Amino acid sequence: MSFDVRPCGNLDEYGHALASIGQYFGHELNREREERFSRMLPVERMHAAWDDGRIVGGAGAFPFQLSVPGGTLACAGTTVVGVAPTHRRRGVLRAMMRAHLDDAHERGEPLAALWASEETIYGRFGYGRAAFAGEVNVPKEYVDYAAPTERAGTVRIVERDEALETFPSLWEALARVRPGVFIRSPDWWELRTLDDPPERRQGGGPKRFALLEVDGAPAAYAIYRHQMDWEDGVSTGKVVVQEAVAGQAPALAELWRYLLDIDWVATITTWLVPPDHPLFFVLAQTRRTRYRLGDGLWVRLVDVGAALAGRSYPQDGEVVFEVRDAFCPWNEGRWRLAGGEASRTDAEADIALDAGALGAAYLGGIRFAQLAQGGAVQELKPGAIERADGIFRHGLHPWCPEIF
């Protein structure tokens, strides 16, 4: 069955397309919320699928820059994907992904990226799991660091306006050292990150904005809230950390000292934490964090040539990929990466793989050798995987601290 999929033409269509996913969250149409959301996800970047004059699905693309090794690249942030339960498993998602990736390609966005609601959905469309991330729950009795650290700097609780002024540059400092960070627009900061309507607090208190300053300069920030509870006169409450961000590890560890020391709570919780987060290297008892690892950001190379040429590489070298890409056939074929330049080639391939596997390895967090463990990468010449891993390696694991 084929469905007519096209970009939304107005806010009315936009609202109905958003409702395709919104219904699963129990949302109702809400014009004010849709208008606000359209300041981050423009109306024309929301595709709607139509059947018999009604919208039965929606899929959006945040037009942002994503940090990659050595800089940032234009990326379609695949989001708010949903299909009406009346139309499930009839090809609506497939038709929307077709329009979504064709659109990103025409716009010259080399990448698309997403957070998956389920790991089984997006591989078929060429997205690969490019990062791991997980939840951390530190019980109050296990907050000690392994080595006594000298306290550096001071933490201040700031108001929203000061947060708006100081936090974005720290987020961007993180983007300079970690791949996988999307650059937030001023609207995103104001309407999403710092916004705190009481109806979305889920029983928690208001967002607190904490700023660590070292030598008088902003060095790290956290957004958190208290979720208090008591049992038998003892606190079972939590400090829930929405995000704690810094460009430099020592500042992040210092900020976490503050968060872990807050009195009157039983647990300090956060999520989307990469496996090489500084916490795991300062806490005395890492086991006690009950770290639960899952998939983080998924990456799709919309344009293999532009994506490969658009990141930097820690070492020179040459590798020829035989890329299979049934969903975006313009990427199919042999690509030679040499000296940071990517070009089509007739040379014999070193490695054969699907576009999804190349997307997984792209940010440097997942190695070709790891992908080969699951059969996703075939080494056609001995030593090619090790060489490719040397070229693609990145010092720090990708980290996207927000689900978009």
Ligand X SMILES: CC(C)(COP(=O)(O)OP(=O)(O)OC[C@H]1O[C@@H](n2cnc3c(N)ncnc32)[C@H](O)[C@@H]1OP(=O)(O)O)[C@@H](O)C(=O)NCCC(=O)NCCS
Q: Should residue 86 be labelled a site residue for ligand X when binding is judged by CB under 6 A?
A: no
Counting residues that bind ligand X (by CB under 6 A) gives: 18
Q: How far is the CB of 311 from ligand X (least distance, A)?
A: 25
Given 28, 52, 118, 141, the residue binding ligand X (CB under 6 A) = 118
- Cβ-contact 134, 271 below 8 angstroms: yes
- Judge whether 362 counts as a catalytic residue: no
Q: Is 368 left (phi over 0), alpha (psi -120 to 50) or beta?
A: alpha
Q: Should residue 5 be labelled a site residue for ligand X when binding is judged by CB under 6 A?
A: no
Q: What is the DSSP letter of 311?
A: S
Q: Give the footprint of ligand X on residues 174-213 (CB under 6 A).
A: none
User: What are phi and psi for residue 356, nearest 5 degrees?
Assistant: -65, -40
- Judge whether 142 counts as a catalytic residue: no
The CA distance from 109 to 335, in Å, is 19
The CA distance from 346 to 325, in Å, is 17
Q: How far is the CB of 107 from ligand X (least distance, A)?
A: 21
Which long-range contacts does 26-29 make (Cβ < 8 Å, 24+ apart)? none
Q: How far is the CB of 4 from ligand X (least distance, A)?
A: 14
CA distances (Å), origin 306, targets 195, 335, 353:
36, 11, 18
Q: Give the footprint of ligand X on residues 334-373 (CB under 6 A).
A: none
Q: How far is the CB of 96 from ligand X (least distance, A)?
A: 8
Judged by beta carbon, residue 91 or residue 305, the one nearer ligand X is: 91
**What binding mask, one character per residue, do residues 87-116 give for ligand X by CB under 6 A, x or -?**
-xxxxxxx---------------------x
Q: How far is the CB of 36 from ligand X (least distance, A)?
A: 20
DSSP character string of 163-216: HHHHHHHHHHHHHHHSTTPBPPPHHHIIIIIS---GGGSTT----EEEEEEETT
Given 61, 73, 83, 246, the residue binding ligand X (CB under 6 A) = 83
Of 3, 62, 122, 368, the catalytic one is 122
Which single residue brings its beta carbon nearest to ligand X? 93
Q: Should residue 54 be labelled a site residue for ligand X when binding is judged by CB under 6 A?
A: no
Q: Should residue 156 be labelled a site residue for ligand X when binding is judged by CB under 6 A?
A: no
DSSP character string of 214-241: ETTEEEEEEEEEEE--EETTEE--EEEE
CA distances (Å), origin 146, targets 92, 152, 279, 283, 377:
52, 17, 11, 5, 39
Judged by beta carbon, residue 98 or residue 397, the one nearer ligand X is: 98
Judged by beta carbon, residue 5 or residue 259, the one nearer ligand X is: 5
Catalytic residue numbers read 122, 404
Residues that bind ligand X (CB under 6 A): 21, 24, 81-83, 88-94, 116-118, 120-121, 124
